[in-house]
């Protein structure tokens, strides 16, 4: 598996588009790892200090993700090196999307990502450049849709992704007007944990979530929604660590408290009168005691020391809400990741956080039902299927991520390029 991963990692991306802003120091890249199936997909992120290597690694991660979520296309990613808190952000994004619009029409589909919002930024800014939807390039490049099909598929995308979730099984508050795009990734992360316990059980042979303790890293859309759905299923959130601080509660927050924290978050930030300083939370949270850990913040934050402290305190499952959550130099499976995978069940990011990619894929298919139950149910079924295939190949509680990589690489690395590990 490692040799296959190395070959996949080392292969140069098919297309790299580099951009330098004319009015600020912002620079950006679109990396298209391949045009497998005639198109490529991956979101747009912004952070200060981002570089081309990060975008390349995330594009490769997206290609692996599409083996789970579909469609069978190449991986891509857009990244902009700029401070998202800078008041000039809107202008930077406007000029960026104007520059990449030709790719988005032809064969590249994008969406929201770190510090770039799907509904308030990506959709309106791509529309202002003549695109019906930011996934239009996938509809054109992969499906080769004629005019009638394009209208149908893009219409389903526009309706489904922006749909306000009204079904009380899936929304924390119907009146708050959360959209599918706001909730679907966190839903997939939570469902990956639920299905993991249903399929694998825990080390004691139990198959439910009731009473399981949860630590969440990051309180953006993904972390907050995932925590909400796990609390709804009977788990107890005992710790939250966010950029500016966090909450520690060994008894566990009840469902109403988690729901309130979700409703009250400030953008992607946790806000509560129970917040403690970051340093205090960071010093204590890894020893708090939890069976479930959700890394849902930026990439490459989780260290080996943190993993070992959580394992010593009873950790069973890591569900990767963040792309590439472990602090390794390797694109996919470095020493920290491997150590975690050999210690507990690690559900890889390309399964756990595939919700948005799967929603896009479903809505681009033929005539489909555009409803909360259909969209959320399809993501749950897709995640369940991916974990069941891992279990069918190896039922051990450890090595889940390695098994998932093997299954994905069987689809991505041609037989002629394989060598034995």
Over 70: is that where the pLDDT of 277 sits?
yes
> Can you give the residue range of the structural domain that contains 151?
11-161
The reply to whether 417 falls in a domain is no
How confident is the model at residue 33, as a pLDDT?
A: 97
How confident is the model at residue 150, as a pLDDT?
A: 87
How does pLDDT run across 97-127, given as a tens digit for each residue? Answer: 999 999 999 999 999 998 999 999 999 999 9
Let me know whether 288 and 351 are in one domain.
yes
The reply to whether 56 falls in a domain is yes
H helices within 201-254, ranges in order?
A: 221-232
The mean of the pLDDT values for the chain is: 95
DSSP state of 27: E
Over 70: is that where the pLDDT of 417 sits?
no
Per-residue confidence band for 178, with pLDDT thresholds at 50, 70 and 90 = very high
Q: Could you tell me which residues come within 8 angstroms of residue 98 by beta carbon, excluding any fewer than 6 positions away?
A: 129
How confident is the model at residue 421, as a pLDDT?
A: 47
Report pTM. Answer: 0.92
What is the distance between the terminal CA atoms of the chain, rounded to a whole angstrom?
7
CA distance 381 to 362: 12
How does pLDDT run across 300-343, given as a tens digit for each residue? Answer: 999 999 999 999 999 999 999 998 899 999 888 999 999 999 99
The reply to whether 297 falls in a domain is yes
Nearest Cα to Cα of residue 289 among 237, 254, 340, 242: 237
Nearest Cα to Cα of residue 80 among 106, 99, 103: 99
Per the CB < 8 A criterion, the answer to whether 162 and 181 are in contact is: yes
How does pLDDT run across 30-59, given as a tens digit for each residue? Answer: 999 999 999 999 999 999 999 999 999 899
Let me know whether 58 and 93 are in one domain.
yes
Per the CB < 8 A criterion, the answer to whether 13 and 33 are in contact is: yes
How confident is the model at residue 419, as a pLDDT?
A: 55
Let me know whether 157 and 97 are in one domain.
yes
Per the CB < 8 A criterion, the answer to whether 387 and 192 are in contact is: yes
Let me know whether 276 and 304 are in one domain.
yes
Let me know whether 254 and 343 are in one domain.
yes
Torsion of CA 134, 161, 324, 342, to 10 degrees: -150
Let me know whether 127 and 178 are in one domain.
no
How confident is the model at residue 3, as a pLDDT?
A: 81
Per the CB < 8 A criterion, the answer to whether 322 and 346 are in contact is: no
Domain boundary among 161, 193, 208: 161
How confident is the model at residue 180, as a pLDDT?
A: 95
CA distance 143 to 70: 12
The reply to whether 3 falls in a domain is no
CA distance 115 to 19: 19
CA distance 191 to 70: 18
Let me know whether 89 and 192 are in one domain.
no
Instruction: Tell me how many domains the chain contains.
Output: 2
Let me know whether 206 and 110 are in one domain.
no
Give the CATH number for residue 318: 3.40.50.720
In the chain, the percentage of residues whose pLDDT exceeds 90 is 87
């Amino acid at each position: 598996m490692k040799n296959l991963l190395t070959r996949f990692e080392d292969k140069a991306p098919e297309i790299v588009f580099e951009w330098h802003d004319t009015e600020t120091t912002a620079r950006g890249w679109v990396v298209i790892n391949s045009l497998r199936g005639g198109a490529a997909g991956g979101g747009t992120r912004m952070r200060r200090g981002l570089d081309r290597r990060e975008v390349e690694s995330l594009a490769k991660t997206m290609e692996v993700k599409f083996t789970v979520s579909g469609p069978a296309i190449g991986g891509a990613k857009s990244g902009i090196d700029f401070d998202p808190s800078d008041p000039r952000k809107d202008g930077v994004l406007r000029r960026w999307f104007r520059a990449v619009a030709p790719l988005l029409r032809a064969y590249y589909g994008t969406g929201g990502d770190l510090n770039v919002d799907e509904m308030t930024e990506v959709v309106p800014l791509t529309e202002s450049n003549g695109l019906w939807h930011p996934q239009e390039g996938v509809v054109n490049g992969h499906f080769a849709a004629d005019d009638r099909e394009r209208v149908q598929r893009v219409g389903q995308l526009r309706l489904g992704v922006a749909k306000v979730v009204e079904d009380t099984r899936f929304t924390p508050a119907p009146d708050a007007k959360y959209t599918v795009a706001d909730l679907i990734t966190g839903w997939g992360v939570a469902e990956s944990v639920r299905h993991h316990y249903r399929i694998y059980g825990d080390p004691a042979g139990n198959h439910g979530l009731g009473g399981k303790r949860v630590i969440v890293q990051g309180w953006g859309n993904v972390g907050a929604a995932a925590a909400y759905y796990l609390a709804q299923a009977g788990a107890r959130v005992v710790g939250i660590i966010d950029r500016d601080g966090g909450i520690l509660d060994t008894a566990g927050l009840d469902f109403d408290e988690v729901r309130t924290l979700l409703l009250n978050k400030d953008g992607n930030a946790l806000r509560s009168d129970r917040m403690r300083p970051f340093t205090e939370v960071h010093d204590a949270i890894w020893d708090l005691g939890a069976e479930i850990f959700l890394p849902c913040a930026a990439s490459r934050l989780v260290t080996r020391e943190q993993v070992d402290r959580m394992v010593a305190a009873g950790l069973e499952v890591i569900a990767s809400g963040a792309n590439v959550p472990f602090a390794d130099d390797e694109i996919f499976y470095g020493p920290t990741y491997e150590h975690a995978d050999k210690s507990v069940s690690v559900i890889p990011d390309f399964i756990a956080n595939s919700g948005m990619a799967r929603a896009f894929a479903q809505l681009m298919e033929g005539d489909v039902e555009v409803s909360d139950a259909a969209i959320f149910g399809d993501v749950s079924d897709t995640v369940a299927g991916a974990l069941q295939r891992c279990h069918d190949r190896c039922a051990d509680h450890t090595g889940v991520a390695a098994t998932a990589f093997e299954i994905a690489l069987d689809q991505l690395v041609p037989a002629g390029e394989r060598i034995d590990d």
